[in-house]
Chains A and B, each alone.
Chain A
């Protein structure tokens, strides 16, 4: 199975700061069809995960442009340009290139 490693485990931040999340996979996520199926989710307390980014860098409908994704192969990053209160929660990455699909353990974004 592909292992997804997220760092850091916790990210204390001040509102208005930039936040950066790392996700690394144990093997390349490049599919034979040329796409890379790496997605990012935010789970707020008590709610279901909500998708932010799909295929590395595509913002899902309604996601603010302060969120951006980048990377390739095995190394991926999610950035928030200026953290707002509604951005707090746990961020997960997911690979759905290789079966079984696998999630990272999450990074908790919290106030410093």
Chain B
């Protein structure tokens, strides 16, 4: 069974950093393309970032709204994907979901950016 478990959500001040972790199991992680998607308090879903597999040179892609501030990475030895979020803004407040190929989703983790 595919499992995706996000951790690392928190209340953080604007301008600070936070790192989310998605621990996975139940599939061959090293071959998987992984994504982060977020959902605003207004319930709008927004794709955030993607990382491809080693065979695709770990290519990464980002939404314009997070480019230069967020970094997606992975550790195939730990079957985990990460989202490093720097220079956080209030508009980054959302539930962050880790997804396997946009098909399987984790339960999500809340990030609140507020002073």
Contacts and interface: CB of A to CB of B under 8 A. Distances in A.
Contacts, number: 42
Interface of A: 1, 39, 48-51, 54, 60, 90, 92, 94, 96, 99-103, 105-106
29 contacts: A1-B64, A39-B102, A48-B106, A48-B107, A48-B108, A49-B105, A51-B104, A51-B105, A54-B103, A90-B43, A92-B45, A94-B45, A94-B47, A96-B47, A96-B102, A99-B61, A100-B61, A100-B62, A101-B47, A101-B50, A101-B102, A103-B44, A103-B45, A103-B46, A103-B47, A105-B44, A106-B43, A106-B44, A106-B45
Interface string B72-115: 00000000000000000000000001000011111110000000
B47 to A, nearest CB: 4
Contacts of B105: 48-51
Contacts of A94: 45, 47, 102
A60 B108 contact: no
B103 to A, nearest CB: 5
A36 B54 CA distance: 25
A50 B99 CA distance: 11
Nearest to B95: A48
Which of A94, A96, A101, A105 has the most chain B CB atoms closer than 10 A to its own CB?
A101
B103 A60 contact: yes
A50 B64 CA distance: 25
Given A39-B102, A54-B103, A100-B63, A49 B47 contact: no
7 closest A-B pairs by beta carbon, nearest first, are: A101-B47, A103-B45, A48-B105, A100-B63, A51-B103, A99-B61, A48-B108
Contacts of B106: 48
